[in-house]
Structures are given as structure tokens and as C-alpha cells.
Amino acid sequence: MGIRSITATETAGGKTITDNKTVYDANGEISEEINYNKEGKLKSTIKYKYNKDGDPVEENEFDENNQLKEKRIIKYNALGEKVEETAFDKDNKQIKKSTYTYDIKGLKTEKKTYDAGNNLISTKKYTYTYKLNKTEND
């Protein structure tokens, strides 16, 4: 039998409050994350939707009043690598977009972030350093 949910609580000063709760669907994937503030009151809820490969393709974040705060749409290439993530506000207007590129080994090499007008605002590059293989005589 799989885990249906995980609840994290914190006890301090004789008071126990709920910190967060993670709920899983029948496939064992996270369907919902519920976050609480330090007083134990609802802070935000994130709900997830997945593609047939089990990759998250949509994340909807709601505020403490269950009003949509932000929606993120995620796209993947044929190899299952995340190639784009776009964030929208409650009115479905783009807030920002990130695109990702990978090398032949499937390692992420670059992340570009764009603003609401699709203007490039940052580029992050990833460089990998490899260990040398030892020979039998070492």
C-alpha cells in the first residue's frame, strides 16, 4: 500500500502546528502540497497535473483564500527533458518564462529567463567537470 499523504508538524514552546502536508494520487505522484505559516494557518496550496510519462505539466498555486495566485505550464522534449516553464498570473497573463537546453548526455547546459514581454533577463550556464578514470596500476 502506498503513501496517501505526509503531514509535517513542528512543536515549539509546547505548541504543535502543522508546517505542510503533501498529498499523493493513485500513481504515487504529488497531487497537492499545502503550506502553512508559522501560526499554523493556511499559507498556500499547489496542485499538480501530469502527462502520461508522470512529468508535471501544470502547477496551480493558490493563496490562503483559495484564489489562484500563479499557474505554471511545463513543456518537455521527446527525451522527457524539461525545455520550457512559463508562469502566469491569476488573470492568465505571462509573468516570466524559462527555457532549458541540454547536451548530448542529457545534462542541462543553459537556462534562459524571460520577463512578461519575452525580453531575456538572465542566462545561467551549467559546466560539468568530470573525474579522471583511474587505471589498474594507480
Give per-residue pLDDT as tens, 8-47.
Answer: 999 988 889 999 999 999 888 999 999 999 888 999 999 9
CA atoms within 13 A on the CB side of 65: 2
pLDDT at 38: 87
In whole angstroms, give the CA distance from residue 42 to residue 6. 16
pLDDT at 131 over 90: no
In whole angstroms, give the CA distance from residue 125 to residue 127. 7
In this prediction, residues 114-128 reach a mean pLDDT of 96
